[in-house]
Amino acid sequence: MMQFKTFLSKSPSMQTIRLIQTGIKSAPGQYEKAYINGQWSSAISGETFDVFNPANGQVVGKVPDMNTDDTLVAINSAFKAFQSWKNTTAKERSQILRRWYNLLVENQNKIAEIMTAESGKPLIESNGEVTYGNSFVEWFSELARQIRGDIIPSSFPSKKILVHHQPIGVVGLITPWNFPHAMIARKAAAALSVGCTVVIKPAEDTPLTGIELVKYAEEAGFPPGVVNIVTSSRENAPDVGRLLCENHLVAGISFTGSTTVGRILYKQCAYGIKRLGLELGGNAPFIVFKSAKLDTAVSSALVSKFRNCGQTCVAANRFLIQEDVFDDFVEKLVERVKLLKMGNGSDTGVQLGPLINQPQLDKVTNFVNDAVSKGAKIITGGRPATHLGNLFYEPTILTGITPDMIVYNEEIFGPVICLTKFKTEEEALQISNCCDVGLAGYFFSEDISQIFRVSKNMEVGMVGVNEGLISCSEAPFGGVKQSGLGREGSHLGVEDYTYVKYTCIGNLS
């Protein structure tokens, strides 16, 4: 049976399971407000929208449907708070971030329950995401005191050259639904650690997790206006995003999401020459060479492809298997895929939850139907699992993939494995690099020379060699080509949030 090795948590209690299945009802009204300028606030319009559990369609929360009026209040509050927050010491910021981290750890199970209720991902995965997201808060709490400048030797004895880093100001954080904890934590902790203030815009499908994170940020002691969260429906989201990009008080934007939306935000930021971080879509190749350990490759394929039901930007998408081992790999893979358990994320042993919403289900269904209509063969799966609910799709394996199929060219974002044979290393790399995005890539080989060659020549920002899980707080996360700009995590994760200032002191004697 497949195990998600990074997703370790205690089994949920029966009380926890009942809460998730019936909606979050432990504290009525807890999620009916967003957080602006240190106050839990309703929308100025008074409007709200419902948040649904994709596993069963039940309402699990109601949050403010904020618009540009509310967002402007948040921006102004963040700008005012920045005037003092930027002057805090690195030690002060480090200590508050550490308190935030401690609170997130103490409340991990509760956060995971909320995430499962609104995203549908299995509870064991939600706990894994909370652990992962928390690690960024811890990392940047420690890194806050390690931001260093330079004293550069001058060519002139009468001059001294000093270089130091300053926070850029207010940062808009626009985060996705598939990792509602980790993407907020990774961005906000980095920005806050260097003295920026933030306005968080969580995805409309999963705002409850973000609200819970901000609740603990308030408890940790961030001053009013330093951390703000604005919730909005799908209808108001474009206008809120545009305001964050175009308002002159916002110094930078960090966005995780599709390349299509990333292009829009890029254009909107252009007039103000904003500092911009974009973590966009991928189309990750997964190459298995004939020297690979097939059991390792199969286990890694399951983790990389089916985590969050395939709805991750680094999910393996194009499976390229060398013809010498193709049949053996497929046999082992099919055997393991047939053991996967689908269902409500709160149920014991579930490894695959639902897709997030109807458009996502329609997309996956259309991709598979297109491939089959053009000659692909379904080995297993290939249809919605309607007996489980409206948004479930069976884990699917397709062979006979050709370049004219949508699944060959576009990111699937669903539980579908598309297998293609190749003959040579050169052919595998040509297929791997033929698209205009390059976030993550994976390959499996026991040939050390090949490992160095392929790692170098893969046109992606992150490479997993004999490994299907590569993300961690210490490593730089980001892509090349149209997969984005900048890096998150690692010591590089603060660069989007600081200006480099050069000071020349002259006429020294």
Give the residue extent of every domain in the chain: 14-280+484-501, 284-471
- Residue-wise pLDDT for 44-86, tens only, equals 999 999 999 999 999 999 999 999 999 999 999 999 999 999 9
- Report strand pairing: 316-322 vs 416-422: parallel
**Candidate list 212, 279, 394, 459, residue with the active-site label:** 279
| pLDDT reported for residue 18 | 37
Which residues lie below 8 Å from residue 344, measured CB to CB, with a gap of 6+?
20, 21, 55, 56, 120, 350, 353, 388, 389
The domain defined by 284-471 folds into Aldehyde Dehydrogenase; Chain A, domain 2 (3.40.309)
| pLDDT reported for residue 23 | 40
Q: Are 508 and 205 in contact (CB under 8 A)?
A: no
Whether 14-280+484-501 shares its CATH topology with 284-471 is answered no
Tell me how far CA of residue 153 lies from CA of 150, 168, 327, 405, 508, in angstroms.
10, 26, 62, 58, 14
In three-state secondary structure terms, 388 is coil
212 assigned to active site: no
Q: pLDDT-derived band of residue 339, with 50, 70 and 90 as boundaries? A: very high
pLDDT at 13 over 70: no
Q: pLDDT-derived band of residue 31, with 50, 70 and 90 as boundaries? A: low
- Residue-wise pLDDT for 396-407, tens only, equals 999 999 999 999
Q: How far apart are CA 290 and CA 267, in angstroms?
A: 45
Q: What is the mean pLDDT of residues 474-498?
A: 97
pLDDT at 312 over 70: yes
pLDDT at 30 over 60: no
pLDDT at 354 over 60: yes
Q: What is the mean pLDDT of residues 97-105?
A: 98
pLDDT at 458 over 70: yes
| pLDDT reported for residue 389 | 96
pTM for this prediction: 0.93
Q: What is the mean pLDDT of residues 24-41?
A: 72
Name the phi and psi angles at 420, rounded to 5: -130, 135
Average pLDDT in the chain = 93
Q: pLDDT-derived band of residue 5, with 50, 70 and 90 as boundaries? A: very low
Superfamily the domain 14-280+484-501 falls into: Aldehyde Dehydrogenase; Chain A, domain 1 (3.40.605.10)
| pLDDT reported for residue 32 | 80
pLDDT at 257 over 80: yes
Residues of the chain by 3-state class (helix, strand, coil), percent to 5: 40, 20, 40
- Residue-wise pLDDT for 360-382, tens only, equals 999 999 999 999 999 999 999 99
Q: Are 483 and 463 in contact (CB under 8 A)?
A: no
Q: What percent of the chain has pLDDT over 70?
A: 94
- Residue-wise pLDDT for 120-156, tens only, equals 999 999 999 999 999 999 999 999 999 999 999 999 9
Q: What is the mean pLDDT of residues 178-190?
A: 98
| pLDDT reported for residue 28 | 33
pLDDT at 1 over 50: no
pLDDT at 92 over 80: yes
